[in-house]
Amino acid sequence: MNTKDLFENKSDPILPTMEGSVCPVPLSHKERIVLGHGSGGKMSQDLIAHSFLPQLDNPILRAGNDAGIVNINPTTNLAISTDSHVVWPLFFPGGDIGRLAVCGTVNDVSMMGAQPLYLTAGFILEEGLELEILERVVKSMQIAAQEAGIHIVAGDTKVVQKGKADGVYINTSGFGLIPHNIRISGDQARPGDKVIISGTIGDHGIAVLAARGELGIETQVTSDIAPLNHLVAAILAVSNQIHVLRDPTRGGLATTLNEIANQSEVCICIEEKAIPIRPAVRAACEMLGFDPLFVANEGKLVAIVHPGDANQVIQAMRNAPYGSEAVIIGEVQASPERRVLMHNAIGSTRIVDILSGEMLPRIC
């Protein structure tokens, strides 16, 4: 018996007969949305599996990648992605909601090996928002779009009553062309492949958390928000053996690697001391009781690459924008168990799970 049988296929779980003692009845949050459903971790996956996929299922959606791949004609594949941005505060060290809205979608499209071309932008504005703030956000979108070399070609604006939204929410959809010889997808990781991260992890999550001011931490950490399409182009120029690209956003590196392990039906083994983490991010995580492996990034990518090409990919990344701190952090191994293992500095091994719900600071 497994959890899946008990909870996923039946509305009323049938409890197995147990010997001895059992615990009280669980709270499953099946009736209402809680914040954990938006964490990017297990609760988000459950929501997709239970509430979205059964109604909207099709092979493209089911592939579970950062962008859907649509075959337009025998030689042209289109990558389509959409992302809504509700970050608070609207401005934080290293970025703002506008830059995030452009980069987030540019990156999701780029992770399919596509060259992003066009974006749409939908704004939900709260009554009372100062126009000066909106214009700063839009200016920031323009700068990010220019940097990425894309155009925003359609838009929409809705205004809701004061209190029904929090300043500005932005949805962007992105479209890009995938060169016909490229087949990059979460299910392509193969045993022996090297796992590369393009730089330090956790910067965005800690910068935004600190900017909220709620947890009383001050830090010099700035968000890493960046458009990664030029970095992807640099990788693709030196290797035709890039198997997986993914940006570890919500849920962090741990969640992304688990998704890949699951899609590719492999085990991903990483080396703890190889993972680049800024001292300030590590310190903030220590204080709050967070694991940096679960903290969000907005300007990093994970590349899973044929071992023969790993070094040239690393070199190409280090010479490209936003890739100067790229390193190999592990490798893919054949295993019937789809999971992520981490070898610790002191010589033991632990399972790296995905984020379950909302990340919470610990008590002491």
Partner 1 sequence: MKYLDDFRDAKLAQGLLAEIHQTAKNHWVIMEICGGQTHAIMRYGLDQLLPSEIELVHGPGCPVCVTSLELIDKALAIASNPDVIFTSYGDMLRVPGSQHDLFSIRATGGDVRVVYSPLDAVQIARQNPDKQVVFFAIGFETTAPANAMSVVQAKALGLNNYSVLVSHVRVPPAIHTILSSPANRVQGFLAAGHVCTVMGFWEYEPITQKYAVPIVVTGFEPIDILQGVLKTVRLLETGEVKVDNAYTRLVTRNGNLPAQNVINKVFMDADQKWRGIGMIPASGWRLRPEFEHFDAEQRFHVEDIKPEESPLCIAGLILQGLKKPSECPAFRILCTPEKPLGATMVSSEGACAAYYRYTGAPSIPAIAISNE
At closest approach, how far in Å is the CB of 203 from partner 1? 15
* The token pair that represents 199 in the structure block: 């730089």
Judged by beta carbon, residue 136 or residue 339, the one nearer partner 1 is 339
Angle between helices 310-318 and 229-238 (to 10 degrees): 140
At closest approach, how far in Å is the CB of 59 from partner 1? 28
**Which residues of this protein are in contact with partner 1, per CB under 8 A?**
1-3, 6-7, 13, 15-16, 18-29, 32-36, 42-43, 46, 214-217, 269-271, 274, 279, 282-283, 286, 288-289, 311, 314, 327-331, 341, 343-351, 353, 356-358, 360-364
At closest approach, how far in Å is the CB of 186 from partner 1? 21
Instruction: Report the Cα–Cα distance between both ends of the chain, in Å, rounded.
Output: 36
> Any alpha helices (H) in 12-130, and if so which ranges?
42-47, 53-56, 59-62, 97-110
From edge to edge, which strands make up the β-sheet containing 76-85?
Answer: 68-73, 76-85, 168-178, 115-126, 151-160
Q: How far is CA 18 from CA 11, 14, 15, 23, in A?
A: 21, 12, 8, 11
At closest approach, how far in Å is the CB of 4 from partner 1? 10
Judged by beta carbon, residue 1 or residue 72, the one nearer partner 1 is 1
Judged by beta carbon, residue 19 or residue 132, the one nearer partner 1 is 19
Judged by beta carbon, residue 62 or residue 350, the one nearer partner 1 is 350
- CA-CA distance, 29 to 34, in Å (whole number)? 7
Asked if 238 contacts 312 with a C-beta cutoff of 8 angstroms, the reply is yes
Per the omega criterion (within 30 degrees of 0), is the bond before 89 cis?
A: yes
Judged by beta carbon, residue 112 or residue 285, the one nearer partner 1 is 285
Judged by beta carbon, residue 24 or residue 54, the one nearer partner 1 is 24
At closest approach, how far in Å is the CB of 283 from partner 1? 5
- CA-CA distance, 104 to 258, in Å (whole number)? 20
At closest approach, how far in Å is the CB of 180 from partner 1? 33
Judged by beta carbon, residue 131 or residue 363, the one nearer partner 1 is 363
Asked if 247 contacts 107 with a C-beta cutoff of 8 angstroms, the reply is yes
At closest approach, how far in Å is the CB of 310 from partner 1? 9
- CA-CA distance, 3 to 22, in Å (whole number)? 15
Q: What is the amino acid identity at position 222?
A: T
